[in-house]
Structure 1
Amino acid sequence: MRHIFLFLIHLFFLVTLQAQSDTNNLAIGQWRTHLPLRTGRFVTQSSEKVYYAAEQSILVINKTDFELEEISRVDGLSNTQAKLLAYVPGSKTLMVVYENSVIDLVPEEGPIFTLNQITNFSNFVGDKIVHGISVEDAENVFVCGNYGLSRLNLNKREFSFSTFTGLDVFGAVVFNGFIYAATEGGIYRIALTDPNPQNFSNWNFLGPESGFPNSYESKAIAIFNNQLYFDVNRSLYRMDTASPELVYTRAGFSIQYLSAEGKNLLVGYRCQSNCDRGALVAFAANGQRQEASNLCMGIPNYAVEDQNGRIWMGDEWMEFRVLNSLQDANCTNYVFNSPFSDKVWEMAVRDQELWLASGGVNRTFSYLNRSDGFASYIDGQWKVFTRFNSPYLQGEKANDNSDDLTDVMTIALHPSNKKVYIGSFYEGLIEIDGEKFQLFNEKNSTLNNAIGDIARTRISGLAFDEEENLWVANHLAANPISVLTKAGEWKSFKPSCGVTSLHQLTIDQNGYKWFCSSSNAAGLIVFDSGKLDDNTDDKCRVFTTANSELQTNQVNCVNADLDGDVWVGTGEGVVIFECGSNAFDENCRGTRRVVEIINGLGAYLLETEFITTIAVDGANRKWVGTRNGVFVLSPSGRDQLAHFTTRNSPLLNNAILDIVINPKTGEAYIGTESGIIVLQSDAIEGGRVHNAEIKVYPNPVRPDYDGPIAIRGLARDAAVKITDVAGNLVYETRALGGQAIWDGRDYKGRRVQSGIYLVFSSSNPREAGFGKPSTATGKIVVLHRE
């Protein structure tokens, strides 16, 4: 069981390792994200860099050479979905505020520090929403929200005061010895010297006696050219020591932000009605007004002007937007190498390719009308296909989007050629053969339209069998199962069990097709077509709570493991069908694995978890996705090897949608509700016999390396012994699939001395079949400083 201990060490404690394989740039236990970099929603800057809040991470752009850096949960961020950013030059700290009002302080040097005080405020009932951040000085910032106003000291990492106003506060500044706060009920101020700013009754409302209206709203405030600028009922005002003075009114628009970081005061406007974009107006110190090109304007959130006069805009529209100057009539738009969005439904891998379906359905299997399409990740590059950039997803009606292929939810990769099959729940199946695309629907295949929804051809599941025939779940069709044979011929089936609400499927070692059903009355279906050209030998069986160990008919996922057993994920845990060729016998009811939870007490495997996906790695371990993170189980399921959540790992979200594992590299791609994250596991696929040559990484093992040593090319679950040159046993283990891991220590846990070590491996007789176990040898050179 020592390999389990190593697995936990490498994965749970996230050791950063240097060993790399020839096919993979991740080391064992390392994580990597694939997050969308399509929209920069908020922006801030330092003197050297621009920071954008992307959908699920922070994108950093060097102002000089435009070199990119991404900061995500892998790098220590506590959350996803950053809402606001502020760089504080005096503290050299980036402040990140998330949608849930948690705050991260990201210093240029040192660890990230997380603040949860606002979310934990007991003085304010309900969700806490932060509207804005204003930098006061080198170490203090104002945090403005629906609860009121706080001052945060970055050096002490604590709030010096919080004022619960009963009003939404949108901005705050210090001007002429007073703190000014812009709120939904107007502007309030308090002297900096007031000893009790947390008492809102000490704040003074600026009303008619100060030259303001009796009743008004203010949503933005800033200091520019030694004057106070602010919003009063969507008009821009300024003042120094006298009464407020009207500067500018833009009919039909409201002020979204004021930004005074460059030579100009930038005023961002959002349209109130009857227009499709915002506006940016710049005011120079001499009062000259200039409007920026509207080609860069979408739905603005914020903008900053840098020392070179470039204006970097945070916007809700797609693409990162930059104006090289206020005089520039054109907008520079950037789209970086990334997925289209954070939407994940199903993934598939083949060799070094990852394919992603970003559509899906809701819980009642109704349309989401999601247009995020599908994507591929090949040779480090993302290629995105949506109905907006690909005519192949625009259906047969070129000028009508009613038949566009939205809600793409399933992908199958041909096992021996480069063809890819993409299933849309809305409008059929696409075959991709290089640059050639072909749409299959009710007109040119056996695919049927849905009963009760005759305009739609719902493709809900795809899988290849050993003969390279593609099997298709055709949801709610009269003939809900179709097959595209290797020869290119179509055939459909109407199972005798009468269930048409089929979706995800897997094919076991007997060639049986196992389908999930979206019907509350069905659960799980197993189907055997027998001979494809003989309709009389078809068999079908339905498993429900009445005739099996299923505790609920809500079956969400199904997968056959390396031993041919079928693992079924439900709304109440896992059921395993170990029936083999007897799946159609009534005695095949499945089993609920009993596991020990504490003090010898037993429970059924993950019985309290809502299972969403099950993946099988090269060591036949099960990676089970739930709404509560990822559970990694031993091949039998009796041992829990790891449980990854957002609390103990960089996992983006505890709600898991899909997991797929590259059998050649061991990379586990985990699709969450916040996007894709990859974990390099320690298992890869292994054959019945060893490869002709086994490989060791790293080799030699240099003095500064103290991580795992991977031995690849082994037969599945092979026995491995490591000895010194004198033949003394140093360590022994069993391969995880086709890879064994050695930590460079002997059986007593002591780091081995410099020298040459020999690897002897023998294949598992159970895996070798009727042949003799194969053997393999290797050599490891270990170097230490003397």
Structure 2
Amino acid sequence: MRRLVSLLLCTLVTGQVRLGEWRSYTSPLEIRDLQIRAQQVYAATGGGILMYDRAADTFTTLTNGDGLQTTDLQALYLDGEDGIWVGGGSPDGWIGRITPPTAAGYDLQLTEVSALTGTDSVVVALFRQNQDQGLILFETDAQGYHYKDVYKNWPAGVHTLEGVVALGDRIYLATDAGLLRGDWKQSNLKDPGAWQPFLPQLSGAIDFIRPTGDGLVVKSADMVYRYRPADSSLTVLDDHAPVTVLDVDLQGESTVGYLTRTAVVLHRSGQTVFSLPILRRRWTVLRFGDATGWVLGGITGLALVDTTQNRVDYRRPNAPVTNNFTAVTVWHDGRVIAGSKMGLSILSEDGWRNIVEGESLRLDTATDYRFYRADTIPVDFGGFVADLEEGPDGMLYCAIRGTYPEPIRHGGGIVILDIDHPEHVTLIDTAYLDYFTTASNPDPYMVVKDLAFDRNDVLWIADTYATNRKRPISMRDLNGHWGGYDVDSLDVTLPLTPVTIGFDAWNRVWVGSFREGDTFTRAGLYVLTYAGDAVQPDSFAWRNIPDLIDETVWSLGITSDNRLFYLTPVGLNYLDLQYNPDNPVARRGSFTYFPNISYGDGAKIRLDPRENIWTVSPTDGIYVLLNNTTYWPDQDPEVTVEGITHETSLLLSDEVTDIAFDADRGLAYITSKRGLNSLKIPFGARRTTFSGVRLFPSPFRVPSTVPLTIDRIPDQCTAKILTLEGRVVRTLTASREGTDGDQLTWDGKDSRGRWVERGVYLIALVTPSGESTFEKIAVIHR
């Protein structure tokens, strides 16, 4: 008998971060399914489980840090033992049962779980596995829930499954060929003959079914029915039901609630007693609770229907506007700014504030960070935000991948704004930037894929698909003067597809570009050497790097010792640079790192504060090469290259889009298609004093698989663990220079491999130069 794999979740102390500690920030605003129990609303969302307490007016969100294998959820069911069952959306059809602080899960390699239902004895999941649909049953006994079986064989004529409801010993299945019924206790449901069509009135396609107190509601193409198993009666629920019904629920015996595309409608005894338009908001779920009243769920959160005031009261948790981020940066004050096609989301110690696109300016003056906050500005953020940079003028510079200028849209290839006063915004459009058009679409389309400021605060712009003026590289200085390089006026033909810009110690400009189809075949790595002013140089020369002519170069990272790392579709390599006008490359690396990783469009290099090289794959996660050319993390001796992936960590998704670093806190912020992660790394700013040393977890409980972390210490420290009497029980040293960084860890054992006794221990920290300090830690036996 296979049982759900259960694991106890560690409770992390707020504000304490250990090596490898992850935090997940998601947007639970898109509601896919919800259930109500007493004052609590539980919702399956695109960002995990959202729980709303109607009485306290508070929200809680559960993510992968709380035991979810995926936060992209499609279905939810509450069992009778306070368990929250969830099913994952495509492509991760994981099934889990959460009873905080524990979580249990079953991964059957499903593509999607679209519905969950159950009784006191069984839980049923409707799933899709590639192109096949089926049911999975989980039965409960004295030991808990266990996997019973899977069913994928259906009567002839059944092609799609639209919904499932479990009542007693029977399972009711909505299909494109009518309503089927099977007995999970008495029948072999693997036999298609065990599924019987039992209501001839419902022989056509069924849109959906919903459980009620004593039966179920069935929605066919043109009618809504109520079926009661006790007397096998099927009645028309309402002769005057709306034509287009997205969802139905009942309040008692006489009131029916309908959700349509444009309204919430309540009928009593066939008469409309309440109707409220909900134009311009896409709602998908309607539920009734005795203590909550009517509750709506949709792409913008929850709403409580106030039937006395004829309005809906929106309830949205404090969250980013989306999970699908495409760029991230860390502001000078530690705030994190993530960009997307919907705008900007800013994370501070208070919570999230959003700056989103809209038709007019509307500033959010609320100060309550318990709820969703957003300023709306009349700016088109295009296909997505490709890059974010903090300018020397204190403004945020956004590279926009795909937008149109006025009057088509209020867009610019570069959006410059004040994040604290977003009404102050400047758009850089085709007056300065190049663009492209097609035979079928003559409108000017702007694509900017990278922005970079050089050491003289000149802004350099990768103006991609620059087919109109053929000016792929543009510049602007602090005085607003513009310059650029036109392909037709140069001795070297620059590609029209620049995607990455970097600068070396001699302020030379390096540009990488990509190939695309038969139209953009020129690509490679190019370097610009100029004299005088960057915008209006006295002289300049462009050169290509011979070994990379017409090869795609996705991203560049240049270290302070002038080693240029470049990322191509076949992996990571480097060039050692020199100051030689005729030959800027002293040596090319002979080894390609990460050759088996997919680096496609969107792949990036990011350097952390210690100049380690982090590579971003849009499909395969993150792979890190330390600046001493060793791999990190390096925890499994049987694995040569360990990546940071969804499978090996709490990374929300392998579809990573960007990374930014907080040097002071030693954090990496990672954006992906599923949200934002923060990861504690040992590569923060180098420390010269013991100011701010932290020990956690504190107290330290042993035995434990989670070590004690000594954080924010100078590099290459030695730590001695001593009893209060001064006896040394263990000496800790940095394992490898450049790897441990500003942290050491202790597993709670003495020098002979035995767990230490409970009590208070001293930790003597000593730097290579002889500076020292003492810390204390309490050790508790479990």
Alignment TM-score, normalising by the size of structure 2: 0.78
1:721 aligns with 2:718: yes
Question: Which residue is 2:526 aligned to?
Answer: 525
Aligned pairs (5 A) from 1:272-291: 277=262, 279-281=264-266, 290-291=273-274
Checking the alignment, whether the CA contact within 8 Å between 2:74 and 2:86 is kept in structure 1 is no
Give, in whole Å, the separation in 1 of the partners of 2:479 and 2:105: 58
Distance apart, 1:776 and its partner CA: 4.2
Distance apart, 1:82 and its partner CA: 0.9
Question: Which residue is 1:38 aligned to?
Answer: 29
Aligned counterpart for 2:540 among listed residues 531, 538, 541? 538
Checking the alignment, whether the CA contact within 8 Å between 2:326 and 2:384 is kept in structure 1 is no
Give, in whole Å, the separation in 1 of the partners of 2:732 and 2:107: 46
Give, in whole Å, the separation in 2 of the partners of 1:465 and 1:572: 29
1:356 aligns with 2:333: no
Question: Which residue is 1:248 aligned to?
Answer: 238
Give, in whole Å, the separation in 1 of the partners of 2:21 and 2:254: 45
Give, in whole Å, the separation in 1 of the partners of 2:297 and 2:186: 36
> Which range is displaced more, 287-296 or 335-344?
287-296
Counterparts in 2 of 1:539 and 1:613: CA distance versus 1, 3 Å: same
1:217 aligns with 2:217: no
**Which whole-Å deviations, capped at 9, do the CAs of 1:98-128 have from their partners, x for residues lacking one?**
3347242323256423234473xxxxxxxx6
Checking the alignment, whether the CA contact within 8 Å between 1:91 and 1:138 is kept in structure 2 is no
Checking the alignment, whether the CA contact within 8 Å between 2:240 and 2:270 is kept in structure 1 is no
Question: Which residue is 2:347 aligned to?
Answer: 377
Unaligned runs of 5+ in 1: 1-12, 120-127, 272-276, 360-371, 394-399, 594-603, 763-773
Give, in whole Å, the separation in 1 of the partners of 2:698 and 2:170: 63
Checking the alignment, whether the CA contact within 8 Å between 1:549 and 1:592 is kept in structure 2 is no
1:492 aligns with 2:488: no
Distance apart, 1:185 and its partner CA: 0.8
Question: Which residue is 1:329 aligned to?
Answer: 310
Question: Which residue is 2:744 aligned to?
Answer: 741
SS state at 1:668 partner: strand
Aligned counterpart for 2:396 among listed residues 417, 420, 428? 420
Distance apart, 1:712 and its partner CA: 3.1
Question: Which residue is 2:710 aligned to?
Answer: 710
Aligned pairs (5 A) from 1:55-454: 55-90=46-81, 92-100=83-91, 102-109=93-100, 111-117=102-108, 119=110, 130-141=113-124, 143=126, 147-154=133-140, 155-160=144-149, 162=151, 164-165=153-154, 166-173=158-165, 179-190=171-182, 194-206=186-198, 208=200, 212=201, 215-222=203-210, 224=212, 226=214, 228-240=216-228, 241=231, 244-249=234-239, 253-260=243-250, 266-271=256-261, 277=262, 279-281=264-266, 290-295=273-278, 298-315=281-298, 317-324=299-306, 326-351=307-332, 352-359=334-341, 372-388=342-358, 391=361, 407-414=384-391, 418-425=394-401, 426=403, 427-433=412-418, 434-435=420-421, 437-441=424-428, 446-450=432-436
**Which whole-Å deviations, capped at 9, do the CAs of 1:13-52 have from their partners, x for residues lacking one?**
99969688xxx65333211122123322321233352112
**Which whole-Å deviations, capped at 9, do the CAs of 1:592-633 have from their partners, x for residues lacking one?**
43xxxxxxxxxx311122231222223332222222221222
Counterparts in 2 of 1:257 and 1:631: CA distance versus 1, 3 Å: same
Counterparts in 2 of 1:405 and 1:653: CA distance versus 1, 3 Å: closer
Distance apart, 1:412 and its partner CA: 1.0
Counterparts in 2 of 1:135 and 1:503: CA distance versus 1, 3 Å: same
**Which whole-Å deviations, capped at 9, do the CAs of 1:478-498 have from their partners, x for residues lacking one?**
433333334444333447333
Checking the alignment, whether the CA contact within 8 Å between 1:90 and 1:139 is kept in structure 2 is no
RMSD: 4.0
Question: Which residue is 1:660 aligned to?
Answer: 660
Question: Which residue is 2:733 aligned to?
Answer: 732
Checking the alignment, whether the CA contact within 8 Å between 1:186 and 1:205 is kept in structure 2 is yes
> Which range is displaced more, 676-685 or 418-427?
418-427
Checking the alignment, whether the CA contact within 8 Å between 1:387 and 1:405 is kept in structure 2 is no
Distance apart, 1:637 and its partner CA: 2.8
Distance apart, 1:246 and its partner CA: 2.6
Distance apart, 1:91 and its partner CA: 5.8
Checking the alignment, whether the CA contact within 8 Å between 1:700 and 1:781 is kept in structure 2 is no
Give, in whole Å, the separation in 2 of the partners of 1:488 and 1:745: 62
**Which whole-Å deviations, capped at 9, do the CAs of 1:180-205 have from their partners, x for residues lacking one?**
43321112334677433332223332
Aligned counterpart for 2:458 among listed residues 469, 473, 497? 469
Give, in whole Å, the separation in 2 of the partners of 1:114 and 1:527: 55
**Which whole-Å deviations, capped at 9, do the CAs of 1:249-289 have from their partners, x for residues lacking one?**
55773443444586776554445xxxxx3544455xx7776
Checking the alignment, whether the CA contact within 8 Å between 1:442 and 1:449 is kept in structure 2 is no
Question: Which residue is 1:761 aligned to?
Answer: 767
Give, in whole Å, the separation in 1 of the partners of 2:437 and 2:279: 46
Checking the alignment, whether the CA contact within 8 Å between 1:79 and 1:652 is kept in structure 2 is yes
Give, in whole Å, the separation in 2 of the partners of 1:175 and 1:750: 55
Distance apart, 1:465 and its partner CA: 2.0
> Which range is displaced more, 433-442 or 326-335?
433-442
Give, in whole Å, the separation in 2 of the partners of 1:698 and 1:404: 43
1:615 aligns with 2:606: yes
Aligned counterpart for 2:774 among listed residues 761, 766, 779? 779
Checking the alignment, whether the CA contact within 8 Å between 1:235 and 1:255 is kept in structure 2 is no
Distance apart, 1:132 and its partner CA: 3.0
Distance apart, 1:648 and its partner CA: 1.8
Unaligned runs of 5+ in 2: 1-6, 364-376, 404-411, 516-520, 634-641
Distance apart, 1:404 and its partner CA: 7.0
Q: Which letter maps to 1:343?
A: N
Checking the alignment, whether the CA contact within 8 Å between 1:618 and 1:738 is kept in structure 2 is no
Give, in whole Å, the separation in 2 of the partners of 1:586 and 1:527: 10
Counterparts in 2 of 1:703 and 1:298: CA distance versus 1, 3 Å: closer
SS state at 2:193 partner: helix
Checking the alignment, whether the CA contact within 8 Å between 2:87 and 2:94 is kept in structure 1 is yes
Counterparts in 2 of 1:178 and 1:694: CA distance versus 1, 3 Å: closer
Counterparts in 2 of 1:750 and 1:580: CA distance versus 1, 3 Å: farther
1:507 aligns with 2:494: no
Checking the alignment, whether the CA contact within 8 Å between 1:36 and 1:338 is kept in structure 2 is yes
Give, in whole Å, the separation in 2 of the partners of 1:424 and 1:504: 14
Checking the alignment, whether the CA contact within 8 Å between 2:9 and 2:101 is kept in structure 1 is no
Question: Which residue is 2:677 aligned to?
Answer: 677
Checking the alignment, whether the CA contact within 8 Å between 2:343 and 2:381 is kept in structure 1 is no
Checking the alignment, whether the CA contact within 8 Å between 1:255 and 1:269 is kept in structure 2 is yes
Give, in whole Å, the separation in 2 of the partners of 1:76 and 1:220: 30
Checking the alignment, whether the CA contact within 8 Å between 1:373 and 1:406 is kept in structure 2 is no
> Which range is displaced more, 643-652 or 170-179?
170-179
Distance apart, 1:720 and its partner CA: 2.4
Checking the alignment, whether the CA contact within 8 Å between 1:153 and 1:160 is kept in structure 2 is no
Give, in whole Å, the separation in 1 of the partners of 2:149 and 2:275: 39
Q: Which letter maps to 1:337?
A: N
SS state at 1:112 partner: strand
Give, in whole Å, the separation in 1 of the partners of 2:780 and 2:171: 61
Question: Which residue is 1:561 aligned to?
Answer: 559
Q: Which letter maps to 1:413?
A: E
| Structure with greater strand share of residues | 2
Checking the alignment, whether the CA contact within 8 Å between 2:44 and 2:86 is kept in structure 1 is no
Counterparts in 2 of 1:150 and 1:15: CA distance versus 1, 3 Å: closer
Give, in whole Å, the separation in 2 of the partners of 1:263 and 1:633: 65
Give, in whole Å, the separation in 2 of the partners of 1:218 and 1:614: 50
Give, in whole Å, the separation in 2 of the partners of 1:671 and 1:700: 27
Q: Which letter maps to 1:576?
A: Y
Q: Which letter maps to 1:527?
A: L
